[in-house]
């Protein structure tokens, strides 16, 4: 994964988004990642679903260039492509194809009026809703989601009410919610939701909390599971 040293970098939110997507839609045929950034969610899903065709859309020029580089470096150009453009643009949406049986998205967390601009442009667009936040992602996904497809979205843990409102407006219902806690005893870091169309086949509603470190700061079984999902070997550490 190519990423800038002091720019936007992939982290646990991308890994958890891809992991949740695979729990609910383990064998997708066509996948779309909204605001794909560096391509980290796309690459995770492409690795886990080797028979899928994947499309990403990214408006930020620097991230788009890195996504293309990452796709080429991982020899995935035959089934993964990215489009440069705003996911709210009708012409851009028309170029993506669809419908998609799996759509993922990791929108910026912070409304522009409530956040301090990052000094780095790439990081700023990744964290601040300059081009729309969770509402824009849901609206776009609702236009391109297959009748029985899954939409998996990651956002600030406090965005539940925003998500519920816009999901209801577009006849989507939450079928899974995963809350990520950075360390035992601390507030949630972010959450990931799995949604389907209201008329889609019924599935049990899931609620799960993943804790990344215990009270002593040691990596938990949840963290080790996510690391294994990403294909990284478990580290052997010896404390001295």
Tens of pLDDT, residues 127-178: 777 778 999 999 999 999 999 999 999 999 999 999 999 999 999 999 999 9
Average of per-residue pLDDT across 98-123: 79
Is residue 130 one of the residues assigned to a domain? yes
The torsion angles phi and psi of 12, rounded to 5 degrees, stand at -60, -30
- Residue 110: what pLDDT? 67
- State the pLDDT at residue 59: 93
Token readout for 119 is 């000094």
- The Cα–Cα gap between 109 and 146 comes to 26
Angle at 96 between CA 27 and CA 155, to 5 degrees: 65
**pLDDT recorded at residue 154:** 96
List Cα–Cα distances, 39 to 10, 63, 77, 162, 173, in angstroms. Answer: 9, 8, 12, 26, 27
The whole-number average pLDDT for the span 179-208 is: 92
Q: Is residue 136 in a domain? A: yes
Q: Which domain holds residue 154?
A: 12-229
Q: How many CB atoms lie within 10 A of CB 184?
A: 14
Cα four-point dihedral sign 94, 97, 99, 103:
negative
Residue 239: per-residue pLDDT: 46
Q: Confirm whether 236 is domain-assigned.
A: no
CATH number of the domain bearing residue 102: 3.40.50.150
pLDDT band at 238 (very low <50, low <70, confident <90, very high): very low
Is 79 among the domain residues? yes
% of the chain with per-residue pLDDT over 90: 76
Phi, psi at residue 69, to the nearest 5°?
A: -65, -40
* Neighbouring residues of 90: CB distance < 8 A, sequence distance ≥ 6: none
pLDDT in tens, 29-60: 999 999 999 999 999 999 999 999 999 999 99
Q: What's the structural domain count of the chain?
A: 1
pTM: 0.91
In DSSP terms, 82 is beta-bridged to 56
The answer as to whether 105 is a domain residue is: yes
Q: Which long-range contacts (CB under 8 A, 24 or more apart) does 212-221 make?
A: 212/12, 212/180, 212/181, 212/182, 212/183, 213/182, 213/183, 213/184, 214/183, 214/184, 215/183, 215/184, 215/185, 217/183, 220/184
**Residue 7 covered by a domain:** no
Asked, for residue 235, whether it belongs to a domain, the answer is: no
Tell me, yes or no, whether 234 lies in a domain: no
Asked if residue 203 has pLDDT above 90, the reply is: no
Checking if the pLDDT of 119 tops 90, the result is: no
């Amino acid at each position: 994964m190519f990423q800038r040293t002091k720019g936007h970098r992939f982290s646990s939110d991308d890994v958890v988004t891809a992991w949740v997507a695979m729990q609910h839609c383990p064998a997708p045929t066509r996948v779309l990642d909204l605001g794909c950034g560096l391509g980290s969610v796309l690459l995770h899903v492409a690795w886990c679903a080797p028979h899928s065709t994947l499309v990403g859309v990214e408006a930020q020029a620097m991230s788009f260039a890195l996504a293309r580089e990452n796709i080429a470096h991982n020899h995935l150009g035959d089934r993964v492509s990215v489009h440069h453009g705003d996911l709210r643009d009708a012409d851009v949406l028309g170029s993506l194809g669809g419908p998609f049986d799996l759509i993922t998205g990791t929108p910026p967390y912070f409304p522009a009026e409530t956040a301090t601009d990052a000094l780095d442009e790439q990081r700023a667009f990744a964290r601040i809703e300059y081009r729309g936040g969770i509402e824009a992602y849901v609206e776009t996904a609702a236009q391109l989601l297959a009748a029985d497809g899954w939409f998996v979205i990651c956002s600030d843990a406090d965005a539940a009410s925003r998500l519920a409102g816009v999901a209801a407006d577009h006849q989507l219902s939450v079928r899974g919610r995963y809350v990520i806690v950075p360390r035992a005893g601390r507030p949630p870091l972010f959450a990931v939701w799995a949604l389907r169309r209201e008329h889609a086949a019924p599935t049990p509603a899931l609620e799960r909390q993943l804790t990344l470190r215990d009270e002593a700061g040691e990596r938990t079984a949840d963290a080790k599971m996510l690391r294994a999902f990403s294909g990284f070997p478990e580290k052997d550490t010896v404390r001295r």
